[in-house]
Structure 1
Amino acid sequence: MEKRQLEGAVIAKVKEVISAIMNAKHVDEVVCALHSIAALLFPLDSSLISGSIEECYRDKVLGVKIPSVEERHDWWDAFYRGVGFPTLARFLLLDVAPNWLGCFPISAQKHAYDVFFSHGLVSEVVQILVPFLQQNGSDGLDVSAVISNSERLLVLCLLENYGMLQLAREFGDPSKSKGFTNERIRPAVSRVAQIVASIPDKARMNTLTLLSSQYPPFALLGLDIICVFFKQIIAQLLSLAEERDTSLLENVDALDEMDKNGALLFVGEMFSRISRRGFADLLSSELVPRVLRLVKKCLSSSNHSSTKGLLESNPDFMCWSIIMEAIRDPYTMERISEHILHQLATHHADDVQAYWVLWLLFHRNFKVQASIRSMFVDKFLLWKVFPITCLKWILQFAVHECPPGNSLSGYNRPRFSNIVERLVTTWSKKEFVQTAPIEQQACILFHCANSLKNMQEKDGYIL
């Protein structure tokens, strides 16, 4: 069947199903109508549905013609890429959910209703479902039923079915997404990421839902706001690196080539939006233990002189650098970097472990992006207040550029001198001494002393 003919057949089938449901007098008629189109789209076992409906309707379910695998793929493609899914989905949410879904047997709900959302194109599913979290009442519509059902389906699709992984893979493989070209991929990624990140803002606060920005059990205990939704989607996206997902490894040899990798664009966009909603600390708290665990494993299996080569040659480690490169928003990068340093201190990382964690996450960015070098050397050394332990790590990674205990083979006296001069100049300013907090002054003093010490050890150079 040609593409245009197939699109017409899909639309005709959707109209037929909607008409049958609108004229239905019994819930099993609704189930049969939905099954008739579901069987064209998904590899269903009709017996799972027929066993839950009255006998007079079973032959209708079991008698549905099952298409071939290729035909089913074509139907699925035309349904989700065209107007078929949005049309049927809105009817399912606004009509079937409040009027019929409560009467569905469990197996019928799963295989003849939920399946349209749980086995669909996730980028299309979220764009349909999320607006219904704020559905307004009209013409006697049971708004509560519509919203509750939309919340349930979002939890099913994004959390229980690992929908964030599916989204990243959809964008990483344009053949699975809605015909995205390189020019269209970034706007599409941004739009979907914005919709997903807005879910906690739209979810009802007075319900026990995993979608809200403050999960009620934590709120009742008086704990800090913990966004369970963001925590789970962060874990899903980080698992792409843990599992060395191939979608992360396409077109990553150069930063400009990474713009062609939809999976990375989506990961970076999601992390930026999560951070800008105030959850950079949550992101870092999920990231650091994973990377620190890998670094400890690497250090325990090699002598320290070969650590760099082992990290560079192992794809398990490369993915973490790529994840950080995906973050293009300077504000997000700065906030995450700050929290990474604090998380390393919280996890009691030693100097060697901390250096290699920072190297693994930032060395590619640090090498090619002046903004990242400036963030560490200027902002973090001159303007941010960190614990002394963190300051040592910043100096080791961003200034010395070698692991603790190694000779400064890459020592650059002009650059060292420039950094020390800037530190001393800042520290000696009267307005700085008068206005800066004691902690900030202590930071600058520590930097000056530590830098001078290293310069003296190297060649006796004194300012």
Structure 2
Amino acid sequence: MDIKYLDLLLILCLLENKGVGQIVAEFMFLNKHNDGVLNPDRTTFISRLAQLLASVPDKARMGASSALTASSFFKSVVSQLLVRAEEAAIESSANKEFNEQDALSSVLLFVGEVLSRVSRRGSTGILVAELIPMIRNHLQRCVAPDCKTIIPDMIKHVPQSQFWFNVVEALRDQHSIERLTEEMLRQLASHHLNDEEVYWILWTLFNQSIMHIAVMRAMFIDKFLLWKTFPLCCLRWILHYAVFEFPPNSVAEAQMRRPSNFLVTLQSLVTVWSKKEFVQSYSVEQQAYITAAIGLCLENMSKEELEMNRDVLNCILQGVSC
């Protein structure tokens, strides 16, 4: 068969006829007629299928249709995956005969494998550009029109949330997760969203994994505070989500409730900041970033709290005297 016709067949099957979404539907069908538990053979098959799908732009011939370029192809693939996976979550929620998590196991594995490969091929920006409007639409779906604030139960009670709660963890590749998270923060900053909406986006996508995967928490608290630099709005979002652990303008913020890791994180920041080597070891941009992080943390402490935490206060005084 002429290569040109193979290209057209790929475009017709995978893109125009939403073939990627149909693959997700097939996995749901298989789960309904099996126990839903992933066995090694099924896991290997799904991984290889994801690899084949993600490699399509790599194998496109010179002069092939623009629909097979990485930017166009991955945009369509990611969109189909996210839309169909949400639908699968609704279907699994409606079927009371089997465990919801098992019902989505193959779907989540396939989605995670494809998204990881898309990210590793340098198309994280495309992935995130498709993900942001969908997660925003999902959160709007969770909130009644007459309700001004979100609480966790509102999100938990919507069937599609089961997909969003698990999608980041489904990537399994920590490097891809980190790239996705960093790109998402930067794109969210360009959307000029309010702090509360971003908090719930982060909560929905990361809360399930950050609670029991140490490397996920370390990504936010160590890498994103001490080793990376983001716009100031992103820094606020990181602190509210991973350190303060409450949304902006919430009751918890008003009452200044302290999560257990708040003082640990603040102590870590001021310890780095107070050392004489801080100025020599960090770029000016990083110095300003860490200083801003400390300032935002202190802004959420009363004078009495600060005086009670002598280690933090001593480090601040030591840093000022350097």
TM over 0.5: yes
Equivalent of 2:44, from 187, 190, 197? 187
Distance 1:350 1:150, change over 3 A: same
Q: Is the 8 A contact 1:341 1:390 kept in 2?
A: yes
- Cα distance in 2 for partners of 1:186, 1:458 equals 55
Q: Does the alignment pair 1:231 with 2:75?
A: yes
Q: How does 1:166-315 map to 2 (within 5 A)?
A: 166-174=22-30, 182-213=39-70, 227-246=71-90, 251-253=99-101, 261-296=105-140, 298=142, 301-304=145-148, 307-315=151-159
Q: Whose RCO is larger (CA < 8 A, sep 6+)?
A: 2
Residues 217 and 242 in structure 2, CA contact (< 8 A), matched pair in contact too: yes
Residue 280 of structure 2: aligned partner: 434
Name the CA distance, whole Å, in 2 between partners of 1:359 and 1:453.
Answer: 22
256, 261, 264: which is aligned to 1:418?
Answer: 264
1:245 offset after TM fit, Å? Answer: 4.3
Distance 2:14 2:229 in 1: 38
In structure 1, distance between residues paired with 2:31 and 2:171:
24
Q: Match of 2:208?
A: 364
Given the alignment, which residue of 287, 291, 300 partners 1:445? Answer: 291
Task: Output the CA distance in 2 between the equivalents of 1:374 and 1:442.
Answer: 21
Note if contact 1:203-1:211 (Cα within 8 Å) is conserved in structure 2: yes
For 2:284, the aligned partner's letter is I
Amino acid in structure 2 at the alignment position of 1:187: T
C-alpha separation between the residues in 1 aligned to 2:137 and 2:30? Answer: 33
Give the drift of 1:170.
2.4
Q: Equivalent residue for 1:333? A: 177
User: Displacement of 1:426 after TM fit?
Assistant: 2.0
Letter in 1 for 2:54: A
Specify the SS of the correspondent of 2:181.
helix
Amino acid at match of 2:135: V
Secondary structure at the aligned position of 1:403 is classed as coil
Change (3 A) 1:195 1:244: closer
CA deviation profile, 1:117-148 (whole Å, cap 9, x unmatched): xxxxxxxxxxxxxxxxxxxxxxxxxxxx2x11
* CA separation of 1:457 and 1:271: change in aligned 2, threshold 3 A: farther
The one-letter amino acid paired with 2:73 is F
Q: Is the 8 A contact 1:321 1:363 kept in 2?
A: yes
Aligned to 1:125: none
Residue 280 of structure 1 aligns with an amino acid whose one-letter code is: T
Query: TM-score normalised to the size of structure 2?
Result: 0.84
Q: Which residue in the other structure is 1:52 paired with?
A: none
For 1:157, give the aligned amino acid.
Answer: C
Alignment of 1:11-50 (within 5 A): none
Change (3 A) 1:248 1:364: farther
Shift, 1:432, TM fit: 3.8
Which of 9, 26, 43 is matched with 1:153 structurally?
A: 9
% identical aligned pairs: 40
Q: How far apart are 1:244 and its partner, in Å?
A: 4.9
1:344 is displaced (CA, Å) by: 1.4
RMSD: 2.8
Q: How does 1:64-83 map to 2 (within 5 A)?
A: none
Q: 1:298: how far off? A: 4.6
* 3-state SS of paired residue (2:67): coil
Contact 1:248 1:319 in 2 (8 A): no
| SS in structure 1 of the partner of residue 246 of structure 2 | coil
> Structure 2: which amino acid aligns with 1:197?
A
* Structure 1 unmatched ranges of 5 or more: 1-96, 98-144, 214-226
Moved more, 362-371 or 333-342: 362-371
TM-score of the aligned structures, taking structure 1 as reference length: 0.59
CA contact (8 A) 2:21 2:81 kept: yes
Q: Aligned equivalents of 1:159 and 1:189: distance in 2?
A: 19
Q: Which amino acid aligns with 1:183?
A: P
Question: How many Å apart are 1:427 and its aligned residue?
Answer: 2.3
Distance 1:181 1:296, change over 3 A: closer
Question: Retained in 2: the 8 A contact 1:155–1:210?
Answer: yes
1:27 corresponds to? none
Partner Cα separation in structure 1 for residue 279 and residue 140 of structure 2: 41
Letter of the 1:366 counterpart: I
Q: How much has 1:149 moved relative to structure 2? A: 1.6
Whole-angstrom distance in 1 between the partners of 2:244 and 2:26: 41
The alignment covers a number of residue pairs equal to 301
